[in-house]
């Protein structure tokens, strides 16, 4: 690149920076925004070819940011440094959104639950299962990632959630998982696992408040969906599946200890 060409690129970068500082990304097309962003990973080269290649491969800026590191790195004219920067953007954005949530936030209804949970699933490409443990005033005590990608099995996950609820002396639990496919409707497995968890938590006097299914920016409450099955009734199969001796007895002991503490 000759001196004249270098000067032209410096001028273009300066104008892009000034435009952003004055107006934000307003008026930037996806190509402009991506080209501007890549300038901070590729300081001495025209970033237009890389931006064009990314949009040609993935479609939109959001699709670019949702792509994997390997997909980004292997795109023509991108490379490792730019791929890392592009993966850093959604990660920082997610952390920022989660940091805005106050501690001990109270989740009284589905709208508050959905607004609280959506940031946890931002940019997730695989299925993620979360458990939100609540105190007796519906305030968040802790949020745990229960599984990611490959699921260990409903019974294993149910035991994990119930055991933690007892350890924390939680009064309620909200579970939530995402559908990376974008379809928000619950599956038969979602309904079955919800029922089993409801039974398990009822055994230790913890209420399953809801199961929220997230798909992109949408969410669905199984409680409002009309398919939220409370523990009880004639079908005792989920309870029988959970009675495996040692684990069940340990839960009962922990539950009695919890009640004794509450009486003190």
Per-residue pLDDT of the chain (264 residues; tens, 9 = 90+): 555 555 566 677 788 888 899 888 888 999 999 999 999 898 778 899 999 999 999 999 999 999 999 999 999 999 999 999 999 999 999 999 999 888 889 999 999 999 999 999 998 988 999 999 999 999 999 999 999 886 556 677 888 999 999 999 999 999 999 999 888 888 888 888 888 888 888 888 899 999 999 998 999 998 887 655 444 333 443 333 333 444 445 555 555 665 666 565
> CA triplet 200, 106, 91: central angle to 5 degrees?
90
Q: Which two tokens stand for residue 254?
A: 């922990």
pTM over 0.95: no
Residue 207: phi, psi to the nearest 5? -95, 130
Is residue 143 within a helix (H) or strand (E), and if so which, with residue range? strand 140-148
CA 222 to chain centre: 18
Burial of 216 (0-12, 13-18, 19+ CB in 10 A): middle
């Amino acid at each position: 690149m000759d001196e004249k060409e270098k000067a032209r690129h410096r001028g273009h970068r300066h104008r892009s920076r000034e435009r952003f500082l004055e107006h934000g990304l307003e008026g930037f097309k996806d190509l402009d925004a991506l080209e501007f962003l890549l300038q901070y990973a590729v300081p001495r080269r025209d970033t237009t070819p890389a931006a064009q290649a990314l949009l040609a491969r993935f479609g939109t800026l959001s699709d670019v940011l949702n792509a994997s590191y390997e997909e980004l790195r292997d795109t023509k004219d991108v490379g490792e440094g730019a791929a890392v920067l592009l993966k850093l953007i959604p990660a920082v954005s997610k952390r920022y959104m989660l940091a805005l949530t106050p501690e001990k936030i109270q989740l009284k209804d589905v709208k508050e639950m959905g607004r609280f949970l959506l940031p946890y699933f931002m940019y997730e490409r695989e299925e993620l299962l979360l458990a939100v443990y609540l105190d007796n005033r519906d305030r968040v005590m802790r949020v745990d990632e229960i599984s990611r990608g490959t699921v260990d099995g409903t019974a294993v996950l149910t035991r994990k959630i119930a055991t933690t609820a007892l350890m924390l002396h939680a009064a309620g639990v909200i579970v939530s998982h995402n559908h990376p496919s974008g379809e928000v409707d619950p599956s038969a497995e979602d309904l079955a696992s919800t029922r089993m968890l409801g039974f398990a938590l009822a055994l230790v006097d913890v209420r399953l408040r809801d199961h929220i299914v997230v798909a992109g920016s949408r969410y669905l409450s199984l409680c409002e969906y009309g398919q939220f099955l409370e523990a009880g009734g004639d079908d005792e199969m989920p309870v029988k599946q959970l009675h495996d001796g040692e684990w069940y007895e340990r839960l009962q002991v922990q539950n009695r200890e919890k009640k004794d503490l509450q009486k003190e």
